[in-house]
A and B are shown apart, each in its own frame.
Chain A
Amino acid sequence: MASNPNLTPTTIRQTLTKLAEKQVSHVELVQDLLTRIQQTDADVIAWLDVRPKYLMELAEAQDRRRSVPKPPTSLFGIPIGVKDIIDVSGYQTVCNMEARENVLEAARDADVVHRLRGAGALFVGKTVTQEAAAGIFSDPCRNPWDTARIPGGSSGGSAAAVANGTALGALGTDTGGSIRIPAALCGVTGLKPTYGRLSVNGIFPLSPSLDTPGPIARDVADTMALYLGMQGKHREIPAMWDRFPEEPRSLAGKRIGVLTSYFNEHIQPEIAAAQQKALTAAESLGAEIVECDWADAMTARYVGSLIQRMESAQIHRDLLFNQPHLMGEQLRSRVEVGALLPADAWFAAIAARDRVKASIAALYREHRLDAIVAPSTPVTAPLVGEKQVAYADGTTEETGLALTRLTQPWNATGQPIIAIPAGVDDRGLPIGLSLIGRPDEEWELADIAHALEKSF
């Protein structure tokens, strides 16, 4: 068992300052990163296809560019990892699928990559994901905090790379929790934007009516900078940093909901305590805490699960019918179940999705909520191969079901969510909390998340 988290991380914001003030060169930055990959990635296995010579050439060119008296772009030279279901020109997009092992290199970037490239980001390589992005293990990637444990998934490689300091930021996608779960288990920050907010062009689909790309980084400010970059709004990044000062801003006038029942049942005690600590911090910053309940949470979870199964069955239909031997056991079972459900299950799920969206909107409206706080996962990182997780009351839950239990309902509603680190448990493993906002209000949510991240 190895432990490789980078406990003295440098953020994107700090790195941009160091580069601008010539405290560090692009070559030194990339050299450090490559050394760290060499030192840690045999244990963590977050990366695929890292090309050291090519990266060093790019860094040298960036150092030469620095000598031109014209301000560089807002993320110039910032090293980013890209989940291997997202196209990067010149790289294969294998999706951890045997059937795609010999796929041609992508001829063009996915939209979100193209936009970040325009901001000056440096793409370090592709990061490990679960087969077809369908699951929470991201094998063979391991958790940098304890390599006997899983990093979560399916954006596990992206979160692990940020956690062990081999990338300053990374791109992930979230269909049932695939940004938030690894962010929580690896102790980093992740944003699942409102469904439809970011382009999915050039991203291998899992469930098109749920798939949402988003950034993973060390803190809220870095995450939001990448979010702007992914939207093609990189010119707004320099002014954005002031929105996130060192000292947390007041939360006076904000109303933060905490959900009883579903979101607080079967939770590891340290995670419940971290949530309480966040609520106390929010209150001390002037927010009003509102206890409420969402009776449709379980329905929303089922809706997310059923839609995902049925849509992914369509995506992988040809593979299932013609080359099932190329599918892993987990993906194959998921696709088979989706394919065998009756057509009216689809219509039931779509109708129920409208109802749960209306019911969560009513909850926000009734209680005048700006955000809801909930644990990202009910437990910290499980061991590799741990099929069941156990709770204090002696009950157990299948690991995959446990880790998606608190994330999947929000994919059905499509709301924006920021997952932030919230300390560690008794074993030193990261705890994650989620802030769930109103659709299209990522920035209001980021303000609250930024205030709370300072309390841990």
Chain B
Amino acid sequence: MPDSLNYVREAAKSIGLKLPEERESAIAEAVAVALRQVEAIRVDSTPVPAPTTYDASWSEQK
């Protein structure tokens, strides 16, 4: 996964984190999984439509 490898290298460089070469691809793979999770939780990809106001009450009002 060249894209995620590039992403990981760039991100590590930008925060000054040294990644040992032998670990780079494993980390890139794990980061790619996490980034897919981020995409999956964004508003327009979740099964619940984005509400304009949240109703967080747990039972009916009496």
Q: What is A's interface to B at a CB cutoff of 8 Å? A: 295-296, 298-299, 302-303, 305-306, 309, 320-321, 333, 336-337, 339-342, 345, 348-349, 351-352, 354-359, 361-362, 364-365, 368, 438-439
Contact = CB atoms under 8 A, between A and B. Distances in A.
Given A321-B17, A337-B27, A348 B47 contact: no
B21 interface: no
B30 to A, nearest CB: 5
Contact of A352 (B41, B59, B60): B41
A141 to B, nearest CB: 26
Contacts of A341: 31, 34-35, 38
A302 B40 contact: yes
B59 A359 contact: no
B27 A349 contact: no
A348 B41 contact: yes
Interface residues on B, range: 20 to 34
Contacts of B43: 351-352, 355
A351 B54 CA distance: 11
9 contacts: A295-B48, A296-B48, A298-B40, A299-B47, A336-B30, A340-B27, A345-B38, A361-B57, A361-B58
A176 to B, nearest CB: 14
B15 interface: yes
Contacts of A352: 41-43, 46
B51 interface: yes
Nearest to B15: A339
Contacts of A342: 11
Given A296-B46, A306-B34, A341-B35, A336 B40 contact: no
Nearest to A309: B34
A25 B7 CA distance: 64
B1 interface: no
Given A299-B46, A368-B59, A354 B54 contact: yes
Contacts of A368: 59-60
Contacts of B16: 321
Given A364-B58, A438-B59, 6 more contacts: A299-B48, A302-B40, A321-B17, A340-B27, A355-B46, A357-B56
B41 A340 contact: no
A439 B58 contact: yes
A325 B8 CA distance: 20
Nearest to A300: B41
Contacts of A358: 48, 51, 54-56
B56 A345 contact: no
The 4 A-B residue pairs whose C-beta atoms are closest, nearest first, are: A352-B41, A295-B47, A302-B37, A358-B54
A114 to B, nearest CB: 32
A365 B31 CA distance: 37
B41 A299 contact: yes
B60 A306 contact: no
Contacts of B19: 336
A355 B48 contact: yes
Interface in B1-44: 8, 11-12, 15-17, 19, 23, 26-27, 30-31, 34-35, 37-38, 40-43
Contacts of B50: 355
A361 to B, nearest CB: 5
A362 B41 contact: no
Given A302-B40, A348-B38, A359 B48 contact: yes
A336 B37 CA distance: 16
B25 to A, nearest CB: 12
B57 A340 contact: no
B60 to A, nearest CB: 6
A356 B54 CA distance: 10
Give the one of B23, B46, B57, B58 with max A CB within 10 A: B58
Nearest to B30: A337
B6 to A, nearest CB: 12
Nearest to A358: B54
A433 B7 CA distance: 41
Contacts of B31: 337, 340-341
Nearest to A440: B58
Nearest to A370: B59
A270 B47 CA distance: 31
